[in-house]
């Protein structure tokens, strides 16, 4: 295994499923500008996720409508500048 390729700045964060407001405490290296007070009285960074084990169809056994059109638009908007660079380079 390669050495020094994994981050070493893991810390406790609270993950919040925006689909049903379920929250759980875990560890992550992800940055967050928001914080939340947890059940133990401490304040932790807040990471919002769209799907967790409480809303994912594999774990719940129910199909759920996911806004794929919104996700596609968001993706296209975010990465549009890279597509333009490629088009300009090909001309």
Domain membership of residue 2 (yes or no) is: no
Structural domains of the chain, count: 1
Confirm whether 5 is domain-assigned.
no
- Please tell me whether the overall predicted TM-score, pTM, comes out greater than 0.75 for this model: no
Q: Write the DSSP string, 20-67.
A: TTEEEEEEE----S-EEE-TTS-EEEEEEES--TTT-HHHHSS-----
> Which domain, by its residues, includes 64?
11-90
| pLDDT at 33 exceeding the cut of 90 | yes
Does residue 28 have a pLDDT over 80?
Answer: yes
Any domain includes 4: no
Compute the distance between CA of residue 77 and CA of residue 39 in angstroms, rounded to an integer.
Answer: 37
Per-residue pLDDT tens digits for 44-87? 999 998 888 787 666 666 765 566 667 778 888 888 877 665 55
Residue 65: per-residue pLDDT = 59
User: 65 — alpha (psi -120 to 50), left (phi > 0) or beta?
Assistant: beta
């Amino acid at each position: 295994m390669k050495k020094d390729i994994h981050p070493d700045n893991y810390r406790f964060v609270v993950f919040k499923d925006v689909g049903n407001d379920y929250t759980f405490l875990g560890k992550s290296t992800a940055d967050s500008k928001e914080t939340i007070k947890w059940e133990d009285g401490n304040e932790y960074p807040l990471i919002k996720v769209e799907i967790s084990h409480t809303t994912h169809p594999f774990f719940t056994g129910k199909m759920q409508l996911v806004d794929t059109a919104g996700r596609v638009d968001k993706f296209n908007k975010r990465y549009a500048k890279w597509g333009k660079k490629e088009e300009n380079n090909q001309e």
